[in-house]
Chain A
Amino acid sequence: MNASTPSEPTSRRAFLRHGARLLGMTALGALGGALAGRSRSEGWVWQIDPAKCLHCGNCATECVLEQSAVKCVHAFALCGYCNLCTGYFEPEPNALTTAAENQLCPTGAIQRTFIEDPYYEYTIDEELCIGCAKCVEGCSRFGNGSLFLQIRHDRCVNCNECAIARTCPGDAFRRVPASRPYLLKTSHAQ
């Protein structure tokens, strides 16, 4: 009857509420317990397995970032330091010069430096690289495959569901422990 002192009807509800809350806590506790055995402090990050990568070009277009977090990296120890680098030059270059029309890279992100006769070194400018894998295909098609794609973790925002992974035709994306975040091609010496 009295609005300011709610009594019996609410107490039944309160009882139900208490019960439900207890149930909720128990459920959360059980879930936490089930997960605690398997959870770890360390997180996961995405990475590309270079052995499965098919160089399809999706990494340049599918990343949620405007400029993809996937970049070409160079395992220098695998490189042949070729003069005619098929990762650097168009399949049929006019001349082996750094002129733009001879370059394979659509953004000119590979730098070619003369080291000593007859060797040239190729380095990736990550600011320019868009991760299209054109050079990766060129390099591995004819050469040693020292150019390959990796997710750069200074750029990757580590989405729960990697947008590139979903569309990867090679199924090359997988989660790796954050303490070992790269899947590099290993060299002969190491």
Chain B
Amino acid sequence: MKREFRLSTRREFLGQSAGALALLSAIAAQRASAAPTRARNPFAYDVSRLEKTDPRLVTHHEVARWPAPQSPARRLGLAPDGTLFVCGGHYVTAVSPAGERGLEIALSAPPECVAVAEDGAIFVGLRDHIEVFDANGRRRASWDAPGRKSWLTALAVRADDVFVADAGQRVLLRYDRSGKLLARLGEKNRERGIPGFIVPSPFFDVKVAPDGLLRVTNPGRHRVELYTPEGDFEGAWGRASMDITGFSGCCNPISLALLPDGRHVTCEKGLPRVKVYSATGEFESVVAGVESFAANAKACGASDCSRGGLDAVADAQGRIFILDRVTAEVRVMQRRA
């Protein structure tokens, strides 16, 4: 039969329209039935693989856990006699390693950090200035704010020196015991080969090692840097990596503790984990992995990560005390026999 070109009749038009309608509705129905069952989120930010720790790497176990005396808890300090000091709420509270409370110092603003000298003097860093208390909790001095943008996050005391980590100014401040500013350390300086601190958030830690060198976290560079008390850059270790051997995220480690034998304990946020590095900075083992800090891991992510984080100190017996800032708990970790 020969086919000719002609205008379609009304009946054909109606038939075709009906056919098109049926096809359209079939497609719509199919798409509607397919839509609601979304098995997975195509836009998920997936770090679930990294939230599991190889159990063979874990060398410590939890021997005790006690609640921080105040909430929200911020940081830990360790006195030379082994007493812990916890910054939380508007208080700094002394706590024995077993969790019994002692001296409590009330402050006008939330304390950010604390350090205790050999003679028992207690240095408390508030957000923008330092207050000094004697061993009985009486206030002896209040130092001036170092700068308009100051945000103090760590204190370390050695003999006559007080080292202050100022995250807001991205600088390490060296004071004498009377509160006189002696030097600004670690500021970017090409001639002296100092790279400068990258501190995107209020997490910036300093410790004085027994060898006399300062260990300073440089979270934006994902490493720990070594400085002399005079501010000479002596080296650094650490690398950025989500896997267990490196420092995760944008800005880690956030805090640092020193074991008696000179090894380092590092804390991270985002993927909350506590690890041990050798004195020269090689990864050694895991103290506690992300699994141990479920609430902390969740706290980072809702709005930002400045409310999460961990802090740790290590005492003379090698016990590691980990403060979970989200749950306001202190865990006592000991090396497995």
Contact = CB atoms under 8 A, between A and B. Distances in A.
B242 A92 contact: yes
Nearest to B50: A91
Contacts of A118: 195-196, 198, 220-221
Secondary structure at the B interface, as helix, strand, loop or mixed, is loop
A141 B43 contact: no
Contact of A145 (B42, B50, B303): B303
Interface stretch (A1-9, A28-36, A50-58): A50-58
Interface in B243-258: 243, 248-252
Contacts of A140: 300-305
Contacts of B46: 91
A168 interface: no
Contacts of B270: 86, 141-143
A104 B44 CA distance: 10
A123 interface: no
Interface in B152-195: 188, 195
Interface in A128-164: 132-134, 137-146
Contact of B248 (A60, A83, A142): A142
A140 B298 CA distance: 11
B43 A144 contact: no
Contacts, number: 107
B43 A106 contact: yes
Interface residues of B, number: 37
A141 B48 CA distance: 12
B19 interface: no
Secondary structure at the A interface, as helix, strand, loop or mixed, is loop
Contacts of A173: none
A55 B301 CA distance: 9
B15 interface: no
Nearest to A188: B149
A91 B45 contact: yes
B251 A80 contact: yes
B45 A104 contact: yes
Given A91-B47, A137-B45, A143-B305, A82 B251 contact: yes
B201 interface: yes
B87 to A, nearest CB: 21
B45 A141 contact: yes
Interface string B305-320: 1100000000000000
A91 B241 CA distance: 9
Contacts of A117: 188
B147 to A, nearest CB: 14
Given A92-B242, A137-B301, A84 B222 contact: yes
Interface string B254-283: 000000000000000111000000000000
Interface string A24-42: 0000000000000000000
B240 interface: yes
B269 A142 contact: yes
Contacts of A55: 45, 301
B9 interface: no
Given A54-B302, A118-B220, A141-B47, A80 B201 contact: yes
A82 B200 contact: yes
A133 B41 CA distance: 11
B44 A57 contact: yes
Interface of B: 41-47, 50, 188, 195-196, 198-201, 220-222, 240-243, 248-252, 269-271, 300-306
